[in-house]
């Protein structure tokens, strides 16, 4: 069964005429001169019958070789049934013409990487390990943008497995732009004429003369003969080479030369001098595979050998390990020694002259000096200890399981094919070329794509270029681009970064690429090596009055594409308001970004983003977040340039703090959790941002119906809450007072929120259960028929008695009025049931028996097991039995040694709730103790929830003010 997939480009996208193709001058040979084969005298060496030749008289092989090059016909091209392009061309076609075919007519995108896959065919055996590891690796490679995969195009062996991998890629992503080129032999493709004539139309006609150049007969259509295979139909393009022969697989080194040519050729669209990386992957294989490895190494193409895949791959892996012990003079360790058949063919490469080469022009560079004069003799000297063993091992490899080859080997003395292959093996394994070979163990857990990339980098680093010149920097940048495309950070650190950003051209561009393509490990490496994101997103005039500070940041990171199509998925789009005027799910202004954060986090967070420094300061003054003297100082600074110069360092530090905060919030909003973890490492104070992360993710969680996304949100919420708890616990061990301050202090960098506010709003119960996190405060107050008073906790600030009287501070009261004492507790969720004492005083026994159980029941009902009980320093409260009861019963408790005994400025009841309670009492109805108690019970239910919430929210602000005031009373 043959499957097929569509080509990368549609017919409409690729439009060229027959005349365009003819201009290339591509032809193909046809054997017209009969040369009898050794076995069958009526069959030509080209595998066709005598009757199909124009000159049917027998000719010798030498004349035949010359004649076949003279009979060339115009080549043809078209599409196959799978919509893939093919071209029938001479195996000796100039590479420049092939380049024009690929880029100008077929319009292939320039590759960022060329991967050749060679290896097993006839004796290939698929193992479960090879199938799972190799397919997984190839799929990973194939999905990388602008990568070319090059194979022989036959549906057999490893290429058949590659085809299955390619099909999986396209089934998962029908819009895949991956390129797969099959370089096969026209005469070795089964039913090639039928395949190339199935899809035909007036616009794309092909000139095919079946009567002249076909060896097919009616009885052979269903038979696979020696030397032919079916075409693998999951490739996107096919170059069908022709040397005039049928059923003859050998395509020489055409693939190697083409890959090397495309890699080195400066294509017009390239804006740098860097060449395209090329690499060859070897899986199993036999004699032809070794020859292809030899061709690749000779042309500077690194090779990755899959150890454990069988035959040639295992043989070379084994001897690659043995060859490490080859004795050689260190002086020649970097030199590459050739074999006789090399001749001057290597001169087709672009030589890179060294000082030695300048003295001796008969040397050619292959990563080092190639000494042709030493030839095979030097290689034999290098491997003299292993030559016999290597020859026998190679003989077993070449002739095992093949009786016909064994018989040939017995007749053939000496075995020239074996010796030639042995020379190629020794050439490949010599010390000067080992850096070009990387062995990947099939049983290892390493990533195949990282191994491929490592082989490219090793070959690059071996090259004797000046790494400081333009080409060297361009190549290093190209490798970084490739590493980021494959997310290979470990190889990039070793071969590209090398603990420095000095050789990275346009580092800001690559940093932004790492952000937008979700590459947290690369982002971490950039930050670790000293890149300042403020330099990327903020101009140097961070404090300018005219500059739109966040334009670059917002335009780059809050795009519609990232929000709607980014990976992983984010629910940010559900919090962006759209209108008829603007229905884009993107953030385009600081106003819109501030609005999104308020919707997700809460309106208790003040704006974070401003266009200018002045706009930020005006906002803070408007809401009382900045002292007035700062505004006066700013207004007095007439010389703006002088003011900015004097604060350059401070502004730079501020910009760095802001951008780390902004990138962390962006990463959380975009649901890029690993990225957020990176930025959290570079933030100085981490508790508040970690809690903000839990709040955002819980809002996202609420928008998610089901599935893995919901599970991931839940797991990440737990991670950031635990992170905040761990930070707080560490601080608490070092300095408990400081830990308490961190929980309740306002975080200017995050809109003046407190950790406690965010944790309470996000219902981070485990965090609230830590000391200084949950708040459940209570106090008592005296009420009588004349009103309320509490001489201990109530004060009137006035300059005179008259002023105090006007404020209601002086009242004439009855002698011995009827009175009661009430107890009330308060938290952000409401007030406790009212406890009334109308007989006697409240001592510690009454307090333990009648008050504390009410507080415990209420707190447990509201907060569960995670809350803190706090009280003032009244005598019943600080009694040791009371303290013991609280320690034993309450989940968490602030004892008398850790709270002020008298703190009216930090008691929501004193500075807010008692007044609200008193206003709710209808004093006209209070004429006795009984009516007073009834009215108190009624009025307590009238305390407004917004007043309660506001009073508790302001508690953290008041605590900070008290701390700044050295613990003194606040001057309201």
Which of 712, 738, 768 is the endpoint of a domain? 768
Alpha helix segments (H runs only) across 775-831: 801-806
Give residue-wise pLDDT tens across range 746-763. Answer: 889 999 888 888 887 888
Return the higher-pLDDT residue of 942 and 174: 942
Residue 892 main-chain phi, psi, to 5 deg: -145, 150
Is residue 401 domain-resident? yes
Say whether the peptide bond before residue 414 is cis (omega within 30 degrees of 0). yes
pLDDT tens sequence across 309-320: 888 999 999 999
| Residue among 750, 702, 694, 748 nearest 723 (CA) | 694
Same domain? 33 vs 97 = yes
Q: Distance between CA 655 and CA 496 in Å, rounded?
A: 29
Average pLDDT over residues 213-230: 70
* Closest by CA position to 101, among listed 258, 271, 296, 301: 258
**What is the band of 327 on the pLDDT scale with cuts at 50, 70, 90?**
low
- 219: Cβ contacts below 8 Å, ≥ 6 apart: none
pLDDT confidence bin for 902, thresholds 50/70/90: low
> Of 768, 789, 823, which closes a domain?
768
Percent of the chain at pLDDT above 90?
27
Tell me which of 631 and 966 has the higher pLDDT. 966
Q: Do 414 and 504 belong together in one domain?
A: no
Q: Is the pLDDT of residue 64 over 90?
A: no
Are 483 and 457 part of one and the same domain?
A: no
Distance CA 60, CA 62 (A): 6
CA atoms within 13 A on the CB side of 567: 2
* Pair (558, 440) in one structural domain: no
Give CA 193 to chain center in angstroms.
46
Angstrom distance (rounded) from CA 961 to CA 950: 17
**Would you say 478 and 114 are in contact if contact means Cβ atoms under 8 Å apart?**
no
Structural domain containing residue 907: 777-964
Contacts of 620 (CB under 8 A, 6+ apart): 606, 626
Is 187 inside any structural domain? Answer: yes
Question: Which range is least confidently modeled, 469-473, 514-518, 844-848, 939-943?
Answer: 469-473
Cβ atoms < 10 Å from Cβ of 616: 18
415-431 average pLDDT score: 88
Most confident of 4-18, 579-593, 612-626: 612-626
Q: Using the Cα atoms of residue 53, residue 55, residue 56 and residue 62 in order, give the sign of their dihedral.
A: negative
Strand ranges for 323-375 from DSSP E: 336-337, 364-365, 369-371
Residue 143 within any structural domain of the chain: no
pTM of the prediction?
0.69
Same domain, 237 and 305: no
The larger pLDDT score, comparing residue 326 to residue 557, is at 557
Q: Considering the domain boundaries, does residue 613 fall inside one?
A: yes
Is residue 803 located within the same domain as residue 922?
Answer: yes
Decide if 271 is inside a domain: no
Confidence of residue 791 (pLDDT cuts 50, 70, 90): very low
Whether residue 813 contacts residue 786, with contact meaning beta carbons closer than 8 Å, is answered with yes
Distances (CA, A) of 53 to 46, 227, 900: 10, 21, 111
272 in a structural domain: no
Question: Domain holding 818: CATH number?
Answer: 3.30.420.10
Residues 485 and 446 in one domain: no
Q: Is the model more confident about 831 or about 241?
A: 241
Instruction: Say how many domains are in the chain.
Output: 5
- Separation CA 663–CA 678 (nearest Å): 10
Beta strands in 247-298 (DSSP E): 278-283
* Same structural domain, 212 and 297: no
Domain termination residue (choose one: 733, 748, 768): 768
504 and 396 assigned to the same domain? no
DSSP SS3 for 550? coil
Q: Is 135 inside a domain boundary?
A: no
Tell whether 102 and 234 lie within a shared domain. yes
Task: State whether 484 and 438 are in the same domain.
Answer: no
Residues 452 and 304 in one domain: yes
Taken in order 530, 532, 533, 537, the sign of the CA dihedral is negative
279 part of a folded domain: no
pLDDT above 70 (res 227): yes
914 and 907 Cβ atoms separated by less than 8 Å: no
């Amino acid at each position: 069964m043959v499957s097929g997939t569509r080509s990368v480009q549609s017919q409409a996208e690729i439009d060229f005429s027959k005349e365009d193709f003819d201009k290339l001058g591509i032809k193909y040979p046809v054997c017209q001169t009969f040369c009898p084969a050794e076995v069958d005298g009526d069959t030509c060496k080209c595998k066709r019958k005598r009757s199909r030749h124009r000159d049917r008289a027998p000719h010798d092989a030498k004349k035949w070789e010359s004649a076949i090059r003279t009979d060339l016909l115009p080549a043809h091209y078209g599409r196959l049934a799978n919509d893939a392009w093919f071209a029938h061309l001479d195996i000796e076609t100039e590479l420049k013409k092939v380049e024009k075919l690929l880029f100008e007519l077929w319009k292939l995108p320039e590759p960022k990487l060329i991967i050749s896959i060679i290896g097993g065919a006839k004796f290939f055996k698929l193992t479960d390990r090879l199938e799972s590891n190799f397919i997984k690796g190839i799929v990973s490679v194939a999905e990388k943008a602008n990568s070319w995969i090059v194979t022989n195009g036959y549906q057999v062996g490893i290429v058949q497995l590659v085809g299955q991998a390619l099909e999986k890629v396209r089934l998962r992503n029908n819009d895949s732009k991956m390129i797969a080129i099959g370089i096969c032999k026209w005469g070795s493709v089964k039913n090639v004429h039928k395949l190339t004539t199935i899809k035909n139309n007036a616009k794309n006609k092909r000139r095919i003369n079946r009567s002249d150049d076909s060896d097919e007969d009616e009885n052979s259509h269903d038979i696979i003969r020696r030397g032919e295979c079916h075409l693998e139909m999951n490739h996107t393009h096919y170059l069908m080479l022709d040397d005039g022969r049928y059923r003859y697989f050998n395509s020489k080194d055409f693939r190697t030369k083409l890959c090397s040519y495309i890699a080195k050729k400066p294509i017009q669209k390239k804006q740098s001098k860097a060449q395209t990386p090329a690499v060859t992957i070897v899986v199993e294989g036999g004699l032809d595979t070794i020859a292809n490895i030899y061709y690749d190494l000779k042309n500077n193409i690194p090779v990755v050998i899959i150890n454990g895949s069988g035959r040639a791959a295992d043989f070379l892996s084994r001897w690659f390990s043995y060859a490490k012990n080859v004795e050689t003079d260190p002086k020649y360790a970097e030199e590459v020694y050739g074999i006789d058949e090399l001749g001057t063919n290597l001169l087709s490469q672009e030589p890179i002259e060294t000082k030695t080469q300048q003295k001796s022009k008969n040397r050619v560079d292959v990563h080092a000096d190639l000494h042709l004069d030493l030839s095979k003799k030097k290689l034999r000297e290098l491997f003299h200890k292993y030559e016999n063993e290597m020859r026998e091992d190679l003989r077993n490899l070449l002739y095992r399981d093949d009786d016909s080859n064994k018989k040939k080997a017995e007749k053939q003395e000496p075995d020239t094919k074996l010796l030639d292959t042995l020379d190629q093996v020794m050439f490949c394994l010599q010390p000067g070329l080992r850096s070009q070979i990387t062995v990947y163990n099939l049983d290892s857990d390493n990533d195949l794509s990282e191994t491929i990339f490592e082989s490219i980098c090793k070959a690059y680093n071996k090259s004797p270029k000046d790494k400081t010149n333009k080409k060297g920097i361009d190549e290093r940048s190209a490798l970084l681009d490739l590493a980021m495309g494959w997310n290979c950070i470990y190889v990039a650190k070793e071969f590209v970064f090398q603990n420095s950003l000095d050789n990275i051209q346009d580092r800001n561009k690559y940093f932004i690429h790492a952000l937008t393509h979700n590459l947290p490990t690369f982002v971490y490496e950039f930050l670790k090596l000293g890149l300042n994101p403020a330099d990327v997103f903020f101009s140097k005039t961070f404090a300018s009055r005219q500059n739109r500070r966040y334009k670059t940041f917002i335009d780059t990171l809050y795009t519609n594409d990232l929000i709607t199509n980014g990976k992983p998925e984010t629910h940010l789009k559900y919090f962006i308001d759209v209108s008829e005027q603007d229905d884009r799910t993107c953030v385009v202004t600081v106003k819109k970004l501030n609005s999104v954060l308020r919707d997700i986090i809460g309106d208790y967070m003040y704006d974070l983003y401003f266009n200018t420094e002045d706009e930020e300061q005006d906002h803070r003054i408007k809401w009382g977040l900045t002292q007035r003297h700062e505004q006066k100082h700013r207004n007095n600074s007439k010389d703006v340039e002088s003011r900015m110069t004097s604060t350059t360092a401070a502004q730079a530090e501020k910009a760095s703090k802001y951008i780390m905060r902004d990138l962390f919030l962006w990463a959380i909003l975009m649901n890029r959790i690993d990225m957020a973890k990176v930025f959290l490492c570079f933030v100085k104070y981490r508790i508040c941002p970690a809690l903000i992360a839990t709040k955002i993710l819980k809002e996202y969680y609420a928008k998610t119906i089901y599935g893995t996304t919901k599970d991931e949100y839940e797991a990440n919420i737990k991670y950031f809450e635990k992170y905040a708890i761990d930070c707080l616990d560490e601080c608490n061990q070092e300095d408990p007072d400081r830990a308490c301050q961190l929980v309740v202090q306002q975080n200017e960098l995050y809109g003046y929120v407190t950790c406690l506010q965010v944790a309470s709003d996000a219902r981070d119960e485990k965090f609230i259960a830590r000391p200084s996190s949950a708040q459940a405060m209570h106090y008592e107050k005296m009420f009588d028929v004349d009103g309320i008073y509490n001489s201990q906790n109530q004060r009137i600030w006035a300059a005179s008695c008259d002023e105090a009287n006007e404020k209601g501070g002086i009242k004439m009261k009855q002698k011995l009025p009827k009175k009661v004492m009430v107890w009330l507790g308060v938290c952000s969720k409401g007030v406790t049931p009212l406890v009334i004492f109308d007989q006697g005083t409240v001592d510690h026994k009454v307090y333990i028996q009648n008050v504390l159980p009410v507080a415990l029941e209420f707190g447990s009902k509201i907060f569960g097991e995670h809350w803190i009980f706090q009280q003032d320093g009244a005598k019943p409260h600080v009694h040791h039995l009371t303290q013991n009861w609280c320690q034993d019963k309450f989940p968490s408790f602030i004892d008398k040694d850790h709270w002020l005994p008298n703190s009216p400025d930090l008691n929501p009841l004193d500075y807010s709730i008692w007044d609200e309670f008193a206003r709710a009492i209808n004093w006209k109805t209070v004429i006795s103790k009984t009516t007073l108690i009834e009215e108190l019970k009624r009025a307590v239910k009238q305390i407004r929830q917004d007043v309660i919430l506001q009073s508790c929210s302001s508690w953290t602000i008041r605590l900070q003010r008290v701390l700044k005031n050295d613990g003194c009373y606040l001057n309201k």
